[in-house]
Structures are given as C-alpha cells and as structure tokens.
Chain A
Amino acid sequence: MMQVPVAKAEQATSAAVLRIAAVSKRFGSMTVLQDCSLSVAEGEIVTLLGPSGCGKTTLLRCIAGFWNPEEGAILIDGQDTVQTPVNRRPVGVVFQSYALFPHLTVAENIGYGLRMRGLPKTEIAARVAAALETVSLSGLGGRYPAQLSGGQQQRVAIARVLVLEPRVLLLDEPFNALDAKLRGAMQVDLRQLIKRLGMTAIFVTHDQEEALTMSDRIAVMRAGRIEQVAPPEEIFDRPATAYVADFIGSSNFWQAEAQAGRVILPDGQDLSTSLTGPVRVMSRPHNLSLQPGALGPWQGRLLFQRSVGALVEYHVTTDSGDMRVMAMRRPAARQPVEGDTVTLGVIDPGLCAVYEP
C-alpha cells in the first residue's frame, strides 16, 4: 500500500510537471487560499488532504483555470498558465460527481474532447475503444451515463480525460459518490491505473485512509494553507505541526516545559528540541507502553480498554492528561482491569514530537 520511495519528495522540485508558487485566492474579503506552494514531479500522485471547506477544490479550480489566483503563479512544465484559458490547459479534471454529459453515450462522452480537437472520426473511435479497454468498460460504450453504476461512471469520467493525455490529472474527491464498501478496492485500482499510465496527478480528499492509500506524497491543508507536504510515512511519523498530528492518525498531547534544548518526558526520559519555554509534546498511542501496577514515575488509572484484533487500546487518565495506548495483548493473568493503577512509558522518545503550545 505505501511502498513509495521517500526520495521522491526531493526529486519533486527538479523535474516538476506542476509548480504552484505562493498562490493566494480571495473571494471578496475572504481569503480562501493563502500562500500555497507545491511542486509535483512527473508521474507522482500528490494528495490534498484537509477538512471540508479548507480550500482543496479552490486550489484545484485554480490549477484547471476556472479561477485565477490573485497572487502567485501556477506553472505547468515551467510555463506560467495565467494567460492560458481553461480549454487550452493540459489539465484533466475528474469532477466531484463526475459531471458526465447525460445526453451523450459513454463512447460519446469519452470522445468529446477528441471531437472538440477536430480529430477524424476513425481515430476518435479507435482511441475511445482503447480508453474503454484501459478502464475495463469495453462493451458499455453505447450506454448512457444514467445506466451505469457509480463506480462505472467514475471510470468513464477518468477515461474521458485520459484519452486527451493531459500533463496533469486532477481528481476532486472521486470516491465521495460511491458506497463506502466499494471504496477500498477502487482506491487501489485507481492508484494502479494512474501509475500504469505514468500520469501526474493531484488527488483531493478529506479522508485520511484514502490519502494514505492513494498518495506518493500528502499535502495537508488547513484553512487555506498547506501545513506539510511529505510522503505518508513521514506525515505519520513526523507531523510538522500539532494540527497535522491531530488530523492524521490518533495522537496523545501533553504540556511540558523545554529547558536548555531538552524536554523531560513524564516517564523520566528526555528529548531534544529547538524550542524553549512551555511546549506541547505528542506521541502516537503505539509509541507508549503500559505496565500493570505502580512501577515508574508516569502512573495513571485505567479507564477503559478494548481489543482491536491482536492489539488492545487502553484509555488511561494521568497527571499529564488522558492518554491512549495501543499495545499487544498480554497473557490473561497479567492483563490489568479497569480501575487498576498502571504505569506508562514512552517506547522511542525520537518518535515524539514537540510543538509550540
């Protein structure tokens, strides 16, 4: 699922197909995008991830040319696109609910862009047939969009832009219109399809699971800003801000004091930091350990536990706040019960993060 070379991140700037440089977009007095920068390398899938209303669609619409940003530039293959109208940008958009033409058949939908380019009928037919094959819809060319399932419609929407061989593929929450059950398998399929065709893509979602499945790199957005751009593992292991840590995966936060470049953790270990004064420390639940009984400095009371497969999730209340711990199940005799005193520890202080309060 996430077998992506980390080195991709560094390549991005050198051979960037798409470069978004300090883009800001306003609607009246409301700033919807602020100083967004992002480079996408050839063949890379970058996900814009953020809660609804954070400006993902707006950024996509700026790239496609439906809107122009007030500040900054959007470059495709090094060319500024500001003067390029929508219908001349080498960008293919898969819309949020596909926007298939209901009055055209599947084949006519896929052939639409080729027809607008004035290609001969025979060539259009051949390329449409090939595109149908690519998205495994051969034989359905004569149907109307309303006669297809949601998943099939999504593939038509993708085929419709793929035939035009755009430099950048933009997908706006393409799984939103689909049943939750179908999504998992379709995400993998879609990622493999894009990779097989070597397409450069920007994928938009508010769903972190989807982002982790689909992306080479994830750009986490918050209220019009890009907070962090990194491969999924790095986003998960080293979230750049408390917001990113909170948004991706579950996390424990507690207050601490940084002195002389060090933060003392509640279990007595310490961690280096560039901050001084009051800070917030974050640890993922599986980076904490739990022992029954009063064995060390970081003690708490077990509030609740539940099994998640081979793991157990513990909720513990401590002086530093409520903590969540994910650990392997122990032999029944050594398993604490709710209300017991337990001792927590940090497994690897290096995987904790320190943020401004």
Chain B
Amino acid sequence: MTASCTRLAARSPTPGLLEAVADKLLSGRGIWPAVPAIIALTVVAVIPFIILLSLGFSQIEMERGTIVSQSFTLDYLINALSDPLYWTTFQRSMTLALTTTVLCLVLGYPVAYLYLIGGRWTRRAILILTIAPLLTSGIVRTYAWLVILGGRGVVNTALMQMGLIDRPLRIVNTHVAVLIGMVQIHLPVMILPLIALMARQDRRLEEASYNLGASRLGTLWHVILPMSAPAIGTGTALVFTLSYTTFVVPQLLGGGNYLNAATMIYEQVVYSLEWSKGSVSALILMASCLVVLTLIAMATSRITRWTKGRDA
C-alpha cells in the first residue's frame, strides 16, 4: 500500500465504509479498479443479454398478459437457419460490412500516412477534419447525404446543370448510396487509431530505412505498414463491428427497402412484434460478428508477433 493511503488511514482511526471501498478500488491490485465498469456492464449488457437468450430459446405461453408456461426450445433458431431470407440478409450485411471496412482502410491509410510525414499544421488539419464529423450525430450526417444524393440534391442538380444527364439519377435507395454513407460515417473510426499510432511512430526508423537503400515505397511497405498492423487491426475490428450491426445508414439511405441484419431485427421486433425471432436474429448477428472479430484478432496477432516476448 502506498504511503499516502497509510497516512489517510492514520488520520481517521475508524475508516468508514466509503474509505474502505475507495481504498480497495484504488489499490491497483487484482480486478478491484475494474469493479465499477463490471457493475455497469452487468446492468446494461449482461442482464439484457441473458434476457435476449431466454427470449430466443424459450417457448412462452401467455394467457391474458401473464406467463403460464415457459419451456426450452430450439425451434426459433432452427427456423431462422433454414429460412433463405435470413441467409441472404446476413450475407448482405456481411458483404456491406466487409466492403465498408476495406474501403475505409484503403481511404483511411493514406490519410494516416500523410499525417505521419506531415508537418505540425498538416497533422493538426487532419486531426480536426477527422474528429469534426464525430461531433455531429450519425443520423444528422446520414440526412446530409440524403440532401446531397437525393433527386434534387447537389449531385443531381450539378450533373443536370452541366447537361450530363436529362433527369435525376436514382442514387438514394441504392446499394451505392448505402455504401457511400457507410464509408463516410465510419472513416474517422478507422483513421483515429491509425493516426494515434502514427503520432507515436519513431521517425528515425524511416530514416534508417532510407539510409539502408530503401525507396519511399519500400519503406512504406517494409517498415511503416507492418509497424501499423496493431492499429490496422483495431480500426478494422471497430469499423467492421459498427458497420455490420448498423441500423441508421441502411434504414435512411436505403429508403426503408434495404434489408440488412439490423433493419431486419428492427422490423421483427417493432413491426411484427416477434420478439423471439428478433432475439434469435440478434444472437446470430452477434455470433457471426464475433467469428469475424476473432479472425481479425488472430491475423493481427500473427503479424505483430514481434510485440510479444519483449522481455523474454
């Protein structure tokens, strides 16, 4: 125990409950410092998850608003897995999420590279431009895309003014609109971990690489890229999770007829009031998301072997 805590105890000979708890929490030993987070997570995540599980795997008989019997069943899961609509919907979600993730990486990495090689002002500008969109909600930004891409939106008006098209292109309510929205919304989430890593990157490694005869491209490929693997892993995992489970963008830019996993769950729960179906869908969504996250984590840890065994 630290000296300051000992002094604290000495001042009040009978430590109160609050002090005893605070002392435990701040001791830095075991899981104590994580206790508040664990309590919060239990309330907002674990308990709802258990409810979700129980809804998805139990047959509930109700009579006039009260539960009369409850029994375990795999029916909902089996029904879901044998329904082709589920497969196409989840496949659409997966494709959209993977495409979004790859596009975010392809568009985001050059920004991070620019941040790495840029001077003070370039770095500041990139940081501001990356964080600024996060200050407005995703819903607002998605609506902005409606204005830009809509029938009388900026894009169509401009194209018609230039005489390139006669009547407005249908962009909203298409895959393309959803993808554009997804990439724009999630790009900062990819860029932030990358530039956080770039800010810490030792610039002398690049100089060493040039001195050893490497070109700029060679240095990017053999030094900068492998060293940013941990951040690529983080960014990829975050963007994938968010875009695989997103609801707002497909709902708004897909015009209500773009069905992905989240919009399907929404419809099952809100419109058809099939809570058990919705629960099973949510569980499938979660499980498939975890599979991809595990793959990302495994790939990242393979590439970043060098960060382990530091003290071996």
Contacts and interface: CB of A to CB of B under 8 A. Distances in A.
Contact of B212 (A66, A144, A146, A161): A161
B301 to A, nearest CB: 13
Contacts, number: 74
B283 to A, nearest CB: 38
Interface of B: 202, 204-205, 207-215, 218, 222-223, 226-227, 304, 306-307, 309-312
Contacts of A113: 212-214
A334 interface: no
B232 to A, nearest CB: 13
A98 to B, nearest CB: 9
A95 B215 contact: no
Interface stretch (A84-92, A123-131, A223-231): A84-92
A164 B209 CA distance: 13
A101 interface: yes
Chain B interface mostly: helix
A296 interface: no
Interface of A: 64, 66, 85-89, 91-93, 95, 97, 99-104, 112-113, 115-117, 144, 146-147, 160-161, 164
Given A87-B215, A113-B213, A144 B306 contact: yes
B211 A146 contact: no
A93 B207 CA distance: 9
A316 B296 CA distance: 75
Contacts of B210: 66, 85-87
12 contacts: A66-B210, A93-B208, A99-B207, A100-B208, A101-B205, A112-B214, A112-B222, A144-B310, A146-B311, A147-B309, A147-B311, A164-B212
A66 B212 CA distance: 12
Contact of A144 (B213, B214, B309): B309
B227 A64 contact: no
Nearest to A91: B211
A117 B304 CA distance: 25
A92 B202 CA distance: 19
A93 B211 contact: yes
Contacts of A97: 204
A158 to B, nearest CB: 13
A314 B223 CA distance: 57
B120 to A, nearest CB: 14
A103 B222 CA distance: 10
